[in-house]
Each structure stands twice: as structure tokens, then as C-alpha cells.
Amino acid sequence: RDPMLQTQLHLKILERGCDKSSIEYSRMKTDILVVGAGFAGAVMAERFASRGRSVLVIDKRPHIGGNAFDQFDSAGVLVHQYGPHIFHTNASHVEAYLSRFTEWRKYEHRVLSSVGGSLYPMPINRETINRLYDLSLDEDGVATFLEGVREKRMPIRNSEDLVLNNVGRDLCDKFFRNYTRKQWGLDLSELSPAVAGRIPVRTNDDDRYFTDTFQNMPADGYTRMFERMLDHPNIRVELETDFRDIRHKVAAEKIFYCGPLDAYFDFCYGKLPYRSLSFRHQHLPHVGQHQPVGTINYPNDYEYTRITEFKHLTGQVHAGTSIVYEYPETHGEPYYPVPTTENQALYQSYKKLADAESSTFFIGRLAEYRYYNMDQVVAAALLLSGKLLN
Ligand code: FAD
Ligand code: UDP
């Protein structure tokens, strides 16, 4: 470890639960301060440390990995604490970069949607249409069927336009409208087309949720991968440390901030909406398998949107099984930017302030207010670090 950094940093009291206000940060210096130990922060930390910079990574949570954090539950099943995280990418440089820190296990995610008491492939595909309407169409037949039911919309201004334009009203109401209302607390018509646009419509029998060229899970889990990324002599990680409490006490040449953008600016323009979730984890002892695929969506029933069974994702063999229910919430930990026109305008006001900061860089899903997947966050962080380290 960098001896300078060590002597300056060892002043911090490390015991958990200590009074943070008593921590002596006032003489701290580091080349780089990274706020947030998720994908964005871990990539920035690793890149700068590998180029000889001293890096202090802080996270207010008691663990690294951000929302991709996984751990064994009390029954010994590997679970994702913040909901199912399935890695997929078409970006070979992202795959190559992360492959330095993990082996992979092949996994193609499949989702069924529970409609009227039956389970149908989601994204909508040939089987969905044939079973739902008791038809036996081939691929061309499904294309003709969709052509007949779709409501042409041009321009596509929002997610309702997009879904109606693709599949028409009945499929929209059965599979999209209520799920979206539950997930976002908004109507499809209030959300950017990019939200429902994440879900394709297929005329063939492909029942995979994603079609990316690379679909694999980190073989030993996400947390293990993050441990390897951050295991560098120039990197020091401090958990349960909020940026708010130390921002004026650490001198850093550059700050990479991965938290909510509005919080950084003390909500000066008001709250930037982020959608939250609460997760209800459950272990089912002596149940080999709870459901036939990784995730089942419940668009029209219950308060939760979906149930995920982790053993499908991880391939773990265990006599019992662990599942998670996702309940969308307005208040709580921020998980999703909410892609509406109004929120985008508010984000742009904050972004002007962000752009005016000379040594703080805003990166990741919360700070960039972008509905990023994990691989997109890694790509954005590689791009930014590449520019700054050039
Ligand atoms: P985060 O992982 O959110 O990390 C930000 C970190 O900053 C957090 O650890 C937070 O504690 C910390 N922080 C915030 N404020 C402060 C502060 N003031 N002081 C100190 N620390 C702070 N992507 C996929 O590719 N595939 C999926 O299947 C998938 N599923 C998802 C399911 C759910 C339910 C959710 C919510 C997201 C999912 N994602 C998925 C998206 C994925 O989680 C994100 O793209 C990725 O984790 C974002 O990384 P990040 O580093 O930008 O942010
Ligand atoms: N969606 C839907 N019905 C579904 C699945 C998705 O209406 O069965 C819509 C919904 O608006 C959701 C969006 O498509 O928020 C994106 O879905 P995705 O599964 O990508 O959401 P995430 O995994 O990011 O929560």
C-alpha cells in the first residue's frame, strides 16, 4: 500500500458502529476519492489505482458491489440482496475487462408472465400469441396477426405509443399496462418509450429475456468479482461512510461521485425522482425448485411485480431454494431513474451544475440519471477513465 496514504488514512476509526462524527478525516489526502463501491466506482478505482494513483473508495452501505451485491443467506443459498442481476452484454471490451476479475458461468435468463392464471413467455413470442389466443400460427402468421392488432402510432412519444404500435391494446393491457403502473406508479403514457422499449416483441420461439452475444454470470458471484477489482495496494475501501459526512474533510485531486445527483447538490432544485423497491427475501427449505424459470412477472395481480428464484441464475445445488419478491415504492433507497420528460428537464438543470464542477465527475446509474444496465455502467466508466488517464 502507498505509505503516504496509509499514514494519512490510518487515523480513521475502523470499528463498526462508531460515532462517525468523531472520525478524524481532517488531514486526509488522496489522489482519488470514489463515492460508491458499485460498478461505476469499482471500475474507476481499479483503473486509477493500476496507474499508480492512491484511491480511497467510500460507500455508505456496509458492503461493496452496490446494487449488484450478493451473499449467502442464512440457509447457504447465494442471493442478490437488491434483486436479480443478470449479466449480459454485446460489448467485447466490457466482457474482456471484467474477465480479468472473474470466471463465468453460462446463463440465459428466461421470464414467464402470469396472465389470467397461466404462464406465458415474456418477451411476447410465437408461443405467447398462440397459447393466449388458442392459435397455431407460424412465424409469418404471428407477424400478420400483430400487423392486424397493432395501433399505428407515429411519432412514438412515450411507452404507451410504443407498446400499442407494436402489439395493440389487448396485449398491452394484459402484459404491460398494469406492470408498468405497479413498477413506476405512472401510466405507460407518462414514461419515455425507452422504458417499455427494453422489452422486444418476437414472432419466433426465442424465449430468452436477452439476446446479447455474452450472457454469463460471475462464477463465484458479483461480490467476489468486486473484491478482486478492489484488491489493489493503492486502493483503500471504507464502508459505512457517507460522503455527506466527509466531503469537506478529504482533500482529493479528483472525485468520482456515483450517488444520486440531487443529493450532491443538496437538492437545490428540489428532489430528482428515483423509484425505489423493497425486497422480500424468503428461503423455502426442502423445496428443490419453486418455479420453472428464473423470474415470473405478475403484471395484473399482487403488490409485487415479480418473483425471482436465485438457483436458476447461479446454478447452485441446494436442498432448499431462495426467492425474492420485488415491491415498488416511491420512497426509500433510490434504484431507478424515472424516465419522464419532466424529470429529464430537472436532471438537465442539475447536470449544468455537475458540468461546472472542475474536479468532481459524475458517473453511474444514479449520478448520470440513466437507466443503465451493468455493462453500460462499466462501458461508461471505462470510457471516462480512458479519457482522464490518457
Ligand atoms: P450502484 O450499484 O447503485 O452503486 C452506487 C453506490 O453508491 C451504492 O453502493 C451506494 O450505497 C453508494 N452511495 C450513494 N450515495 C452515497 C453517499 N452519499 N456516500 C457514500 N456512498 C454512497 N443491470 C443489469 O445489467 N442486469 C440486470 O439484471 C439488472 N437487474 C437489476 C435489478 C434491480 C432491482 C435493480 C435496482 C437494478 C438492476 N440492474 C441490472 C442495474 C444495475 O444494478 C446497475 O446498472 C448497476 O448496479 C449500477 O452501478 P452503479 O455503480 O452506477 O450504482
Ligand atoms: N414491462 C412490462 N411488463 C413486463 C416486463 C416489463 O410492462 O412483464 C415494462 C415495465 O414498464 C418495466 C419495463 O418494461 O419497467 C422494463 O422491464 P425490465 O424487465 O427491463 O425492468 P428491470 O429489470 O430494469 O426492472
pLDDT digits (tens, 9 = 90+) for 54-71: 999 999 999 999 999 999
pLDDT digits (tens, 9 = 90+) for 314-370: 999 999 999 999 999 999 999 999 999 999 999 999 999 999 999 999 999 999 999
Q: What is the DSSP string of 23-56?
A: ---TTEEEEEEEE--SHHHHHHHHHHHHTT--EE
Percent of the chain topping pLDDT 70: 93
Question: Which of 148, 186, 143 is closest to 169 using CA atoms?
Answer: 148
DSSP-assigned letter for residue 103: -
Q: What is the DSSP string of 223-272?
A: HHHHHHHH--TTEEEE-S--HHHHTTTEEEEEEEE-S-HHHHTTTTT-PP
Amino acid at 292: P
Q: Is the pLDDT of residue 12 over 60?
A: no
CA of 123 to the centre of ligand 2 (A): 10
pLDDT digits (tens, 9 = 90+) for 228-245: 999 999 999 999 999 999
- Nearest listed ligand to the Cα of residue 264: 1
Q: Tell me if 297 CB under 6 Å of ligand 1.
A: no
Q: Is the pLDDT of residue 114 over 90?
A: yes
Q: Tell me if 86 CB under 6 Å of ligand 1.
A: yes
pLDDT digits (tens, 9 = 90+) for 344-354: 999 999 999 99
d(CA 323, CA 268): 40
Q: Are 39 and 380 in contact (CB under 8 A)?
A: no
Let me know if 340 is exposed, middle or buried by CB neighbors in 10 A (0-12, 13-18, 19+): middle
Q: Are 349 and 269 in contact (CB under 8 A)?
A: yes
Q: Which atom of ligand 1 is nearest to the CA of 59?
A: 21
**Prediction pTM value:** 0.94
Q: Tell me if 274 CB under 6 Å of ligand 2.
A: no
Look at residue 22 in the predicted model and tell me its pLDDT: 43
pLDDT digits (tens, 9 = 90+) for 204-220: 999 999 999 999 999 99
Q: Tell me if 122 CB under 6 Å of ligand 2.
A: yes
Q: Are 68 and 45 in contact (CB under 8 A)?
A: no
- Nearest listed ligand to the Cα of residue 373: 1
d(CA 210, CA 374): 14
CA of 12 to the centre of ligand 2 (A): 43
pLDDT digits (tens, 9 = 90+) for 269-318: 999 999 999 999 999 999 999 999 999 999 999 999 999 999 999 999 99
Question: Which is it for the CA torsion 57, 59, 62, 65, positive or negative?
Answer: negative
Q: Tell me what percent of the chain is helix, strand and coil, each rounded to the nearest 5.
A: 35, 20, 45
**Mutate-to-test residue for ligand 2 from 177, 179, 297, 376, highest number of ligand atoms within 8 A of CB:** 179
Buried b (16+ CB within 10 A) or exposed e, 252-280: bebbbbbbbbbbbeeeeeeebbbbebebe
Look at residue 7 in the predicted model and tell me its pLDDT: 33
What distances in angstroms separate CA 345 from CA 119, 143, 189, 341, 350, one per listed residue?
Answer: 39, 38, 17, 6, 9
Direct distance between the N- and C-terminal alpha carbons of the chain, in angstroms, rounded to an integer = 24
Q: Which atom of ligand 2 is nearest to the CA of 184?
A: 15
d(CA 378, CA 217): 15
Q: Which domains does the chain have, with CATH numbers?
A: 3-69+220-269+337-389 (3.40.50.720), 111-196 (no CATH)
Q: Bin 117: left if φ > 0, else alpha if -120 < ψ < 50, else beta.
A: left
Q: Which three cell numbers stand for residue 19?
A: 460515532
d(CA 69, CA 150): 40
Q: Tell me if 65 CB under 6 Å of ligand 1.
A: no
Question: 28: pLDDT confidence band, cut at 50, 70 and 90?
Answer: confident
**Mutate-to-test residue for ligand 1 from 35, 47, 258, 369, highest number of ligand atoms within 8 A of CB:** 258
Percent of the chain topping pLDDT 90: 93
Q: Tell me if 364 CB under 6 Å of ligand 1.
A: yes
CA of 34 to the centre of ligand 1 (A): 14
- Give, for 310, the enclosing helix (H) or strand (E): helix 310-314
Q: Is the pLDDT of residue 14 over 60?
A: no
Q: Tell me if 35 CB under 6 Å of ligand 1.
A: yes
